[in-house]
Structure 1
Amino acid sequence: MSPLYTDDLQRIFEKLDKNGDGLVSLDELNWLLERTGMGMISQEEFQSFVGKPNLNLKEFLLFCNNTHYKKISEEDAEIVEAFKVFDMNGDGFISCEELQSVLSRLGLWDQSSGNDCKKMICVYDTNLDGVLDFEEFRNMMFKKN
């Protein structure tokens, strides 16, 4: 089975979000899981994973790409928290501007060093959309490309 990329998952999210509120409910998610033969998850499992009744796009991407419908490991939980620091606007992606801003705040960015955030992102941007999604960020943190 080939992996789904962020663009694919974003389109799926938009189709699932029938009422256009920017959130996917358990019922909407279960509709997809049932039709793809992946089974259904209970309200308790869903609540224990996300801690609330709906998923926004970012949470949906994390749910699909990272967890395979299980609780995330402690290591992945730390990566999720790190991702949230870099994803300053909460859209589920890390842009060049966000990366540079966080690195600057941490004292790790020097304009005179010649570093270019676009080049840094490009190394791990496997779907070539110019930003890092969670899985690409995770690969960067573990130095996988």
Structure 2
Amino acid sequence: MASESVSESKAAAMSWTISPGNGGVAVDLPRDGTAVYPAVEIVGTEGVPLGVHRVSVTLPSNMGLRFGSGTNPDYTLTVWNKETGRAESTRPGTLSPDMSVLTFDAVDLGPGGKSDCWVTVHASYAAPATETALTFTVGSSEASKSSSSTPLRIL
């Protein structure tokens, strides 16, 4: 499900890549409000900070997914520095009117060259039993990169 895409040639010069978290291995998502944490991994050039970027996370259409757990809406993004083994930041986001996109401005992806970013989601009881993923987009509209998240296996 790795689907890195670049919006313009300027993004090709960005010194990092983005790919599904958890090595692309699917995570089970029960239809009972249980929270899971789909992620992407961002890997940069050694010794170059990943920098500050806008991050948008889009839910797949018609899959019955919502941000947060079944009992707690959660509109935050966590950035985990894989080199230090600690959270760099937790940022509140802005939820779109249709509740399908979370946008986070000025996210520092960390001083190291490897970070994970994740959000919290849950599946409604009406969600179809299938495999799906969120889409993470990192960067501005002029230069961005996108990837599917950790695959989610809705049970």
TM-score relative to the length of structure 1: 0.23
Q: Taking CA–CA contacts closer than 8 Å with sequence separation of 6 or more, which of the two structures ends up with the larger relative contact order? A: 2
Larger radius of gyration: 1
Higher share of residues assigned strand: 2
The structure with the greater share of residues assigned to helix is: 1
